[in-house]
Structure 1
Amino acid sequence: MNNTRLTLAAAGIALLALMLIALHHSRTSAPAAQSADDSPAASRSVPPDGEALLPFTPTQISQAAALAARFTTAYASHRYGEPPSVYLARLTPMMSPQLRPVIERAATDPVALTQRRRLQEITTAQARTTAIRALGPTSITFLVHVTQNVAIAHANRADTSHYALTLNLTHATDPDPGDGDADGEKWKVYALELASTGNAGQTAELTVTPDPAP
């Protein structure tokens, strides 16, 4: 009789132990299933950061933005007694060969030159890059805000304009890469338009919209 009781007690203890093990397993397995998204395989499918998706490094973008501001400052500044050749000499190192003849035609326009001489106009510009409008594999289009201080014979005024500049990253042929890196890549201004005309990037026509007449 005592043996029977001992056997039943042992069986009860074993059954209780199995129930406790099963309950513990059910509580610990559910969180593991919920955290499946945290597995190494899932984390590898997410890009580490946005920079990996850009065609340029942050340094390259900063160099291009600085060049866009410098070029626009030089483009929008002029003196009535300054020869067009001197004006073009400041811009030429910063622009592509395709853009130079377009800028040259605007700089030598006889109507604009005559009007500036008549008014004795001296314009000093300050430009800053405000946004990126478009990114391409080898180009960036920036929006640039320009403030011009215009002094004429008997008055002064302040004008503001907004330009869209497209810059291309090319391989420089000179030993000094300038606005580029040590591998000889260099930024050049490829297109310039008033921002309202919709310069959307590398495919934009090589046109220059002249400054509004005073």
Structure 2
Amino acid sequence: MNLNDRQRRLLFAGILVLLTAAGLYLTFAKPDDGPDRPEAKSSESATAPPTGPASPPPGIQTPVNPNDFDIYRLLPFTRQEFATAADLAQRFVAAYGTYRFDEPPETYSQRLAGFVTDDLRTQLTRDATTPGLLEERRREQIVARGSASLDQVRTIEDNSIIFVVTGTQQVTKGTTESSDSRKYAVTVTRNGGSLRIYSFQPADAGQAGDTG
């Protein structure tokens, strides 16, 4: 296309106007509202889920009255949570010590499932299905009835409580009856919005506290 001098000057002026307008827009335009802007990051951080205990203690600011002292205001567990954890530990130890030679090991494992975390349930199921153990119980026709008593609170952490629990078994082998007692350290921990047995072992073996 052939342009005369006047047309070329007009075309050049039009291009210059467009370039100037583009430069002004890039200089003064507001940043976009993309996810990388500081405001967006601040908002995302503000809505992040809280960490730590599900029920942080409210603390005590008034003078302590020995006749009306609520210790649960200084603990990371409420009175209800503490009672639930204690009941869970006691009932678990009683259930752990209860079994029969003529019941499938799956029944025993299922009976414990409602008390424990998934990892501990896997371990207990593996232990309960040991061929030598099952054969011994069948051969001697062992029937055990468990009971338990809460003895002590060993440790309280932000998300776990360790109880010392005595488990007692009334054991029948054929026509012979006997009794046996053992102390266990039972760790109850918060697990997915509920309380579950995280681990347990003989009380004299020691046990770590908080599970995070």
Q: Percent identity?
A: 34
- Counterparts in 2 of 1:136 and 1:72: CA distance versus 1, 3 Å: same
Give the conservation status (yes or no) of the 8 Å contact 2:145–2:169: yes
Question: CA separation in 2, counterparts of 1:82 and 1:145?
Answer: 25
Question: CA separation in 1, counterparts of 2:72 and 2:112?
Answer: 31
- Counterparts in 2 of 1:123 and 1:46: CA distance versus 1, 3 Å: same
CA apart distance, 1:44: 4.8
CA apart distance, 1:201: 2.1
Q: What whole-Å deviation, never above 9, does each CA across 1:48-78 have from its counterpart, x for those lacking one?
A: 6432211111111111000111111111111
For 2:94, the aligned partner's letter is T
Runs of 4+ in 1 over 6 A off after TM superposition: none
The structure 2 residue matched to 1:168, chosen from 158, 167, 189, is: 189
Structure 1 position 190 matched with structure 2 position 181 = no
Give the TM-score, by structure 1 length: 0.65
Question: CA separation in 2, counterparts of 1:119 and 1:44?
Answer: 62
Structure 1 position 66 matched with structure 2 position 66 = no
Q: Which residue of 2 aligns with 1:208?
A: none
Question: CA separation in 2, counterparts of 1:44 and 1:134?
Answer: 25
Give the conservation status (yes or no) of the 8 Å contact 2:184–2:202: yes
The structure 1 residue matched to 2:175, chosen from 138, 151, 154, is: 154
Give the TM-score, by structure 2 length: 0.65
Q: Which residue of 1 aligns with 2:11?
A: none
For 1:99, the aligned partner's letter is L
Question: CA separation in 1, counterparts of 2:195 and 2:61?
Answer: 34
Question: CA separation in 1, counterparts of 2:150 and 2:61?
Answer: 36
Q: Which residue of 2 aligns with 1:143?
A: 164
Q: Which 5+ residue runs of structure 2 have no aligned equivalent?
A: 1-59
